[in-house]
Structure 1
Amino acid sequence: MIQRVGVIGGGQLAWMMAGAAKQLDLELIVQTPHADDPAVGVATEVILAPVGDAQATGRLAQKCDVITFENEFVDLEALFYLKNQGVRFAPSLESLKPLLDKYHQREYLASIGLPVPLFTALVDPTEPLDFTFPLVLKARRHGYDGQGTFIIKSSDELINTYNQLKSVPLLIEEFIPYTQELAVIAARNDSGEVVVYPVVETQQKNQVCHRVIVPAQVSLKIQSQVEDLSRHLLNELQAVGVFGIELFLTPDETILVNEIAPRTHNSGHYTLDACKISQFEMQLRSVAGLPLGTANLNCDAAVMVNLLGYEEAHHDYAEKRKTLASIPNAYVHWYGKTESRPGRKLGHVTVKATGNQANYSKLLKIADTIENLWYS
């Protein structure tokens, strides 16, 4: 029986997982590099070490029954050594292997029949391309929240960006003129049970998610396609855990898979308040071998707004948080980070809606109100 769950990473995702662990009577042991990381104050035990330190992960393994992940910035080869010594990981290292490098991820998705944008590895930016500008340039590893992603509009810009990034392995892909960016959280356990949360719309600025609207305003056909591809992906991977799946919806109603995150995901933060079982509890249920339960909403609709840093400061923004909490049906989650800087995720606000308030335009107005209060 699994009682102690190790987590590689101690940021806000592990912090939110800690509340679910308490509900399930599980102990959470965290490996994270900084004593002020969000999960440090709520974990049962902490190993202070970089997430890529496999020796520290070996010490973590001695204290827990299974190890899961808050992020994917790990040394997979070194973790395989631990796996061969009997350490249990969930998701398995085999299911992570095709996903950590974005180029390999694209190859894998295409190989199992999932629709993806046209792509190729970038080796020499002076060579002729099978792409027209604009195109998307991505770092193959360690990119998140818009970091490592560039919209390139010309050959000169491609060469200059390539030279600035120097030896970073890169992927290029076609620019998709989408009508909506969508996302979905899906989970699978060891017995093959799969649950899929509602499809959501994510609204991004500079490749950073600002808002999530749930459910997305899409047809039943699109909802069904997204659910089917989610189940197909997790079953092909034989995955155990929660996965965040980002998608594009094109003007001709075609779904393309953008990226897969093998962990809980920002697009699923609304589940803490707007679902019967949050993505964080679902992650723990899946890795602990528990029945997954339902991914249904507990309201008609919801909007989640990220509270992003907009200045260099040490500030807890207590008054602004108090004002945000006064919005009807609002739930403010503050990650306890001591330093603000532009673009850093400091917290989020979810507002649940029922009846007439679940109207899409009203949800957008609520999101506008939150952002006006936060960024003013």
Structure 2
Amino acid sequence: MMKRVGVIGGGQLAWMMAAGARKLGLQLLVQTPNPTDPAVAIASATVFAPVDDATATAKLASQCDVITFENEFVDLPALSQIAAARFYPTLDSLKPLLDKLDQRQFLQRIGVPTPRFLAVEGEDGEFRHTVLQFGLPAVLKARRHGYDGQGTFILQHPESDLPKAAPNQWLLEEFIPFECELAVMAARSIDGEVVIYPTVETQQEQQVCRRVYVTAFAPAITAQVEAIARRILDALNYVGVIGIEFFLDRDGNVLVNELAPRTHNSGHYSLDACVTSQFEQQLRAVCGLSLGSPQLISTGAVMVNLLGYETSSSDYAEKRQRLSQFPQAHVYWYGKTSRPGRKLGHVTVLLNDNQDRMEAEAIAQAIEQHWYGSPQVG
């Protein structure tokens, strides 16, 4: 069994692997730029370097049995030159996923429904003409390095301010008037075993996830989600955990929005609400262990992100203490300095048999009122 796991990236996603690593008897070694990054506190060893520094990754590989990823902002061609490294997900699995155009084309090839899309090329006037010909409203996305709304623009009107774009930098997508946004975490082992977590609803504000509801969906919807997840995992020959975000349109059809080849914000609830968290599952998959059960241990759950609403070094201890007093609440604090919109932590509240979706929404509202006060961020 592999015992030493290298993680490229040292943010909260790597930090939340700690409990799973302890349970499985694993050591985590992290490559991350800053001594203050969350996962430094739980790592057995740290290589301080940017996540796309392949020379540093070669050093990490010399100390590890396997390397996995906390984020996808890596230099894939450079990593392919590190002969001694074992990566899961494999570099071949990651190749179609890191550029959003490649990702869309991959999904199209395997017959997975997505919004209509177009690579936008050209400069200034030509760029604007292409956007208007495509049709508005539309969504314009940076093809690389976009997350939490960064590099994403909703274009509503012909006079919308368009970002300047060099050729091949942008992906233009049809705007889907969705009923809601869904997500699912799924995992595949080295041996091809697949487990799929519950389908959840995610709610975004200013294109940043604010809350996740783990409540039941119609079987026809979950069947679509799970079939798509299996098709993606098998087509990629994927090893590890993947996050898949969806739109549910007004006709009950599911379309893939984006793929995240790693653990994901929409699966944080699994730390407390599932038999096996997404973080332990990632370690199980990449270390060649049998996968754990993704089943819920409660009726459902609601997860609320704690976003920064000021620039501050405060640890908000009093507010966190009040949140921890909510019944069945689990508070996670990432140890970051605050700035507006930054994910500083999250709260998961487990639901019981007497609590339905309306009750979950009331719990989320109460958490946000405690955290942000009035007015709320967003």
TM-score range, shorter chain: over 0.9
The Cα offsets for residues 271-315 of structure 1, whole Å up to 9 and x where unpaired, read as 000001000000000000000021000000100000000011111
Q: Is the 8 A contact 1:133 1:152 kept in 2?
A: yes
Shift of 1:219: 1.1
User: Which amino acid is the alignment partner of residue 121 of structure 1?
Assistant: A
Partner of 1:340: 338
The number of residue pairs the alignment matches comes to 368
Partner of 1:181: 181
2:369 is aligned with 1:372: yes
Which of 141, 144, 157 does residue 144 from structure 2 map onto? 141
Q: Structure 1 stretches of 5 or more lacking a match?
A: none
Q: Secondary structure at the residue paired with 1:232?
A: helix
Partner of 2:358: 361
Q: Secondary structure at the residue paired with 1:19?
A: helix
Partner of 2:128: 126
Partner of 1:325: 324
Partner of 1:6: 6
Q: Is the 8 A contact 2:332 2:346 kept in 1?
A: yes
Structural mapping, 1:112-261, within 5 Å: 112-124=110-122, 125-128=127-130, 129-157=132-160, 160-163=161-164, 169-215=169-215, 217-261=216-260
Q: Structure 2 stretches of 5 or more lacking a match?
A: 374-378
Structural mapping, 1:88-107, within 5 Å: 88-107=86-105
Return the alpha-carbon distance in structure 2 between the equivalents of residues 265 and 332 of structure 1: 17
2:306 is aligned with 1:270: no
Shift of 1:133: 1.1
Q: Is the 8 A contact 1:133 1:154 kept in 2?
A: yes
Shift of 1:325: 0.2
Return the alpha-carbon distance in structure 2 between the equivalents of residues 269 and 167 of structure 1: 37
Q: Secondary structure at the residue paired with 1:304?
A: strand
Return the alpha-carbon distance in structure 2 between the equivalents of residues 172 and 354 of structure 1: 42
Distance change (3 Å), C-alpha of 1:224 and 1:328 = same
Return the alpha-carbon distance in structure 2 between the equivalents of residues 194 and 131 of structure 1: 38
Structural mapping, 1:29-44, within 5 Å: 29-44=29-44
Q: Is the 8 A contact 1:115 1:256 kept in 2?
A: yes
User: Which amino acid is the alignment partner of residue 110 of structure 2?
Assistant: I
Q: Is the 8 A contact 2:119 2:168 kept in 1?
A: no
Q: Is the 8 A contact 1:8 1:70 kept in 2?
A: yes
Partner of 2:376: none
Return the alpha-carbon distance in structure 2 between the equivalents of residues 107 and 119 of structure 1: 9
Shift of 1:19: 1.8
- Alpha-carbon RMSD: 1.1
The Cα offsets for residues 96-147 of structure 1, whole Å up to 9 and x where unpaired, read as 0000000110000010000000000011313345532110000000000011
Return the alpha-carbon distance in structure 2 between the equivalents of residues 211 and 325 of structure 1: 17
The Cα offsets for residues 207-247 of structure 1, whole Å up to 9 and x where unpaired, read as 100000003x4210110111111011001100000000000
Structural mapping, 1:292-307, within 5 Å: 292-307=291-306
User: Which amino acid is the alignment partner of residue 201 of structure 2?
Assistant: E
Q: Is the 8 A contact 1:139 1:168 kept in 2?
A: no
Q: Secondary structure at the residue paired with 2:195?
A: strand
TM-score between the two structures when normalised by the length of structure 2: 0.96
Return the alpha-carbon distance in structure 1 between the equivalents of residues 166 and 347 of structure 2: 38
Q: Secondary structure at the residue paired with 1:210?
A: strand
Return the alpha-carbon distance in structure 2 between the equivalents of residues 40 and 209 of structure 1: 25
Q: Secondary structure at the residue paired with 2:279?
A: helix
User: Which amino acid is the alignment partner of residue 108 of structure 1?
Assistant: F
TM-score between the two structures when normalised by the length of structure 1: 0.96
Shift of 1:167: 6.7
Structural mapping, 1:30-69, within 5 Å: 30-69=30-69
The Cα offsets for residues 188-221 of structure 1, whole Å up to 9 and x where unpaired, read as 0110000000000001101100000003x42101
User: Which amino acid is the alignment partner of residue 370 of structure 1?
Assistant: I
**Percent pairwise identity:** 58
